[in-house]
Amino acid sequence: MMSLRLGDDAPNFKAKTSLGDIDFYEYLGDSWGVLFSHPADYTPVCTTELGKTASLKDEFAKRNVKVIALSVDSVESHKLWINDINETQDVEVTFPIIADENREIAEAYDMIHPNASVNATVRSLFIIGPDKKIKLIITYPASTGRNFQEILRVIDSLQLTAYHSVATPADWKDGEQVVVLPSIKTEDIPAKFPKGFTEVKPYLRLTPQPNK
């Protein structure tokens, strides 16, 4: 099976979840999506990750992002685990957790890495655009929890660069200067970016974030 790559269509699927049956594309609608997998229920790192995701509910909502998690355990197991997450992380998990007991979704998204684990999903995360295309893939080892501030930062960058002719530099955060794309001629920058720009080099032109 070929691995998914950036720009590929995110495979659609129907699944049982902690919140009932879903069709993935219908669940996303016109929103952006974050799909992330967990090796198993009742694992310590995943418990903290799902808690952190729940605590960032408003941050995802204001970015028009719907989140959905996946584990190879059952719906019944998910529901009991959610009770633990809510208790230990002082949150309320309101997003669905997919029960991928036959691993069909994990296989479609290439979440099984045999050299890491024969049957458990790796800690993969996909950001999916409203066009249902994959915009970002991050895969962590099972021992390393995800950095959710980085995930929010990437969503900010993806949403900004989807609608403006800019890219974001290293360590960029929302509100900071951005890079004018090389395809924009320097003489055309003032009309397109009226806030002004700084030419560091002919190929490196900086401008204030255009949507702020």
97 is catalytic: no
> What is the amino acid identity at position 152?
L
Order the strands of the 123-128 sheet from edge to edge.
20-23, 14-17, 97-99, 65-71, 32-37, 123-128, 134-140
Q: Is the separation of the CB atoms in 161 and 144 below 8 Å?
A: no
Pick the catalytic residue from 10, 15, 34, 46: 46
Query: What residues are annotated to the active site?
Result: 46
